[in-house]
Structure 1
Amino acid sequence: MADFGIGAPDEIARLSLGQDDYPPPPPPAPRLADAQAKGIIAVDITDKFAQAVKTLAPGELVKDGFFTLFESVAALEIMDPKMDSGCVESEADLEELYDVSRPLLPEEVLGIIDQLLCHEMAWHMGYPLSQTLFTSVYVESLLMPTPKNLRQADFIRNEQDRSSQEPMLAILRAYCLGMLKACGYVNERIRSEHFYEEEDFVTNTYNRSLLANIPTESIRETIIGAQKLVSSLSSQLGDDMAKALDRRLQLRYYFLNATECLDHINEPELARKPWKEAVALLPDIKTSHDLGKAVDEAFSAKLQRKLASTMPPRPIVQIGFEDAFGNLSRLFKDGAELVDVLNYTNSQCLQASG
């Protein structure tokens, strides 16, 4: 499914400079002497410009016809820490220092997964990706540079480093792939409908592709592989931890199936099946939440500086697990119930029987 936008927010989001793997640096400015040697007539306009600026009243702007709205807003924000998302006191503060290749404990993986689940539900509730899922350093490393295939969609892009990847990272990667692919389906579905941007739902992906180029079946196979890995490590993980991780991976598998339930529009029970299967997993997910250990440093508001956005930096949206779980439960229960609409084929079906 291709990524495409509707409306100004999506057009603005396309202006991100982060899509190339490593964009070449801009060429240096030519020296005045070299320019004259090549027959270029260079004129120093510094004094004239300074005099012209003095004629402007405070707050008055001069806008060229080719100076777009995006550039106008960005120009007003530049170097204002409250408005410029890329403005930092030092260059060292721009990058997030968290190492996505570091080994993780099983309880840390479980904690990160549940934190991601909270952010995912916050996005479903109407908060933007910039304050929810896109604050995860693991999500950022998966999506940027934009992966062209499943192999590139990894926390570690270096082949040598990837060969020694920790099994816990492989489990977390499979969960993240399933989560992002499902979010991509949801986002595209909502974009095709009529809604009020930033009132009902925020579809802006800030020029990040939610794995649109990676086949769903490949991600399903990755999830199944991760489940087999959990099973092989069950003696080391312990039964409770192994079950907790397996249930969360299974949830991602069912969620992907549920997003494609429209393929079974002529078979209501088949369309309802993944929703009901997901509902059956929920009790185990809720009771095993306490086994996890939150890793707060794996989420950072600094990542907003890398997004194509005219919004000022905003704090990470934090919703509790209980609230997130309640929304998750309603999501799947409503999805299973909504399939009943397929039983109504005409207006007569809507009339109450006598």
Structure 2
Amino acid sequence: MDSGIERSGYYSIDEAIEDGIAPVPLSLDRTLDIQRTLDVIDHLFSCEATWHKGHTLAQTVFTCIYLMKMERISSHAVLNSFCRILRATCNSVISVVSTARTHEEEDLFTMSFGLPLNGEGDDKCLSVLNSVEETISRQLRACKSQALSKKKTLEEFESLQDNPELEEGYCRALLCRLRFRKHFHHVVTCMRKPQGRGLDLARKHVTSCLAELSSMLKSQEFLKSQSDITSQKGDESCTTASGCRPIGFDVSLNSRLLSPAPPRAVQILAWSDAIRYFEKLLHDLDIICALSLDPVLENVLHFIAQFQKSVPDLVPRAFLQNMYSVSYLCYSLLFPTYINNDAKIH
């Protein structure tokens, strides 16, 4: 036995659900429900960054029981839309890394055996998210409108929670997270298009992602002020903006249920570290998107040498590899036609 293994006491997902570890709604108090939803979203954000660093999906993103049992949250519009697009993005990233073969045989990144990665309706995840985003956007506009009285706001728009004074803050916190999720999904999708057809659009979504990350950081003060101080963890280790421990996660359950999952739980990146990871990831992807698709061979080699000095992580390396091995540039690099010393690849 591994002395470092963490055991939760649950032998199945259904057993954990019956014990109330992942309630739906997250609370009967609508304000607490939104707080807990934001904590789940933030912890998943930290889990995703940890996964990108080389750990398994089973020990990071899919420690979330809501993701393992998506049918349970169909009535929870915000959490359902977020989890659907997160799952679709994870699936796309796995495809990119697997195609690029930038990972080693022993790497755990692409291991997804037994995980519910392909869900019915995930192809419509963007439309589902857009609908939720528009609803929250209308509520935010109502909160900011000086022309609407408080009574009219509550009557004509379904609020996120029950405290009118907190409505705007929660709307802003949710919107920036949902929008980041949407734009990051677009970045991955656009960069996967053949022959670089989506690179210019991907750069626009990268810019939007960075703006939403900034908004997420700004929301931290508000979320901390509304959280239960007694449940907060230290800033250096907390995986949520509020500092609270999220509900709906079990770090060791998949180790019992899925054979590829190592027995020991991994250390999830702190939320602040996850923010920094995604900022660097997006800057690296932006540099890749700015590459010319009709390059001089010597310039390509120079770029690769310079790019690796920044120590890019697995995901940007995979996208770069795909640009030169999957697209038509592969043929150009392997069989260049030199006209002179400065000839371009044809």
- Normalised TM-score (structure 2): 0.63
TM-aligned CA distance change 1:189 to 1:103, over 3 Å: same
Distance 1:209 1:330, change over 3 A: same
Which protein has the larger Cα radius of gyration, Structure 1 or Structure 2?
Answer: 1
Structure 2: gaps spanning 5 or more residues: 28-32, 144-158, 160-165, 224-240, 303-341
Structure 1 vs Structure 2: percent identity of aligned residues?
Answer: 21
- RMSD between aligned residues: 3.3
Within the alignment, does 1:241 sit opposite 2:170 as a pair?
yes
- The reply to whether residue 109 of structure 1 matches residue 37 of structure 2 is yes
The answer to whether the aligner puts 1:203 opposite 2:133 as a matched pair is no
- Corresponding residue to 1:231 among 129, 137, 140: 137
Please tell me whether the aligned partners of residues 82 and 313 of structure 1 are also in contact (alpha carbons under 8 angstroms).
Answer: no
- The 1:117–1:343 alpha-carbon spacing in structure 2 relative to 1, beyond 3 Å, is same
Where structure 1 has 5 or more consecutive residues not aligned to the other structure, the ranges are: 1-79, 143-153, 157-161
One-letter code aligned to 1:307: L
Change (3 A) 1:109 1:340: same
Q: Does 1:155 align with 2:72?
A: yes
Cα separation, 2, equivalents of 1:95 and 1:141: 11
Aligned partners of 1:100 and 1:137 also within 8 Å: no
Q: 1:331 aligns with which of 270, 281, 298?
A: 281
Distance 1:280 1:88 in 2: 42
Q: Secondary structure at the match of 2:247?
A: helix
**Does 2:180 align with 1:273?**
no
SS at match of 1:155: helix
Residues 21-61 of structure 1: CA deviation (Å, up to 9, x unaligned): xxxxxxxxxxxxxxxxxxxxxxxxxxxxxxxxxxxxxxxxx
1:238 maps to a residue whose letter is: E
Report if the CA contact (8 A) 1:178-1:252 is conserved: yes
Q: Distance in 1 between matches of 2:171 and 2:10?
A: 44
Q: For residues 155 and 270 of structure 1, do their structure 2 counterparts lie closer, same or farther at Cα, with a shift above 3 Å needed?
A: same
Paired residue type of 2:65:
V
Measured after TM superposition, the shift of residue 232 of structure 1 is 4.4
Instruction: Indicate if the aligned counterparts of 1:184 and 1:212 stay in contact, CA closer than 8 A.
Output: no
After alignment, is 324-333 or 312-321 more displaced? 312-321
Amino acid at match of 1:272: R
From the superposition, tell whether residues 351 and 84 of structure 1 become closer, same or farther in structure 2 (CA, over 3 Å). Answer: closer
Name the amino acid aligned to 1:263.
Answer: K
Q: Provide the C-alpha distance between the structure 1 equivalents of 2:15 and 2:251, rounded to a whole number of angstroms.
A: 11
Measure, in 2, the Cα distance between the counterparts of 1:204 and 1:88.
24
Q: Distance in 2 between matches of 1:253 and 1:89?
A: 34
- TM-score normalized by the length of structure 1: 0.62
Task: Assess if the C-alpha contact under 8 Å between 1:116 and 1:133 holds in 2.
Answer: yes
1:253 has 2:253 as partner:
no
Structure 1 residues 193, 243: CA separation in 2 closer, same or farther (over 3 Å shift)? same
Shift of residue 280, structure 1, vs aligned partner: 1.9
What one-letter code is carried by the residue in structure 1 that aligns with 2:64?
A: S
Separation (CA, whole Å) in 1 of partners of 2:112 and 2:217: 29
State whether structure 2 residue 215 is matched by structure 1 residue 263: no
Task: Give yes or no for contact 2:252–2:265 (8 Å, CA) kept in 1.
Answer: no
How far apart are residue 137 of structure 1 and its match?
1.3
**1-structure distance, mates of 2:40, 2:12:** 28
User: C-alpha separation between the residues in 1 aligned to 2:79 and 2:133?
Assistant: 11
Give the 3-state SS of the residue equivalent to 1:238 in structure 2.
Answer: helix
Matching residue's letter, 2:134: K
Residues 1:178 and 1:311: Cα distance change in structure 2 (over 3 Å): closer
For residues 1-354 of structure 1, what are the structure 2 equivalents within 5 Å? Answer: 95-96=16-17, 97=19, 98-104=21-27, 105-142=33-70, 154-156=71-73, 165=75, 169-194=76-101, 195-199=103-107, 202-211=109-118, 214-216=121-123, 218-234=124-140, 235=143, 236=159, 238-261=167-190, 262-263=192-193, 265-266=196-197, 268-290=199-221, 291=223, 293=242, 294-305=244-255, 307-309=257-259, 311-347=261-297, 349-350=299-300
Between the aligned partners of 1:209 and 1:183, the Cα distance in structure 2 is 11
The 8 Å contact of residues 206 and 307 in structure 1, kept in 2 or not, is answered as no
Measured in 2, the distance between the counterparts of 1:340 and 1:315 equals 38
Q: 1:263 to 1:298 in 2, by over 3 A?
A: same
Please state how far the C-alpha of 1:247 moved relative to its aligned partner.
1.0
Q: Which has a greater percent of helix? A: 2
- Tell me, in whole angstroms, the C-alpha distance in 2 between the residues paired with 1:256 and 1:211: 16
182-191 or 201-210, which deviates more: 201-210
* Counterpart-to-counterpart distance in 2, 1:336 and 1:289: 26
CA contact (8 A) 1:136 1:299 kept: yes
Q: Deviations over 1:220-269 (max 9, x none)?
A: 00111111232344444522221110111111111111112232714642
Determine the C-alpha separation between the residues in 1 that align with 2:284 and 2:188: 13
C-alpha separation between the residues in 1 aligned to 2:77 and 2:69?
Answer: 14
The CA deviation at 1:328 is: 0.9
Letter in 2 for 1:325: I
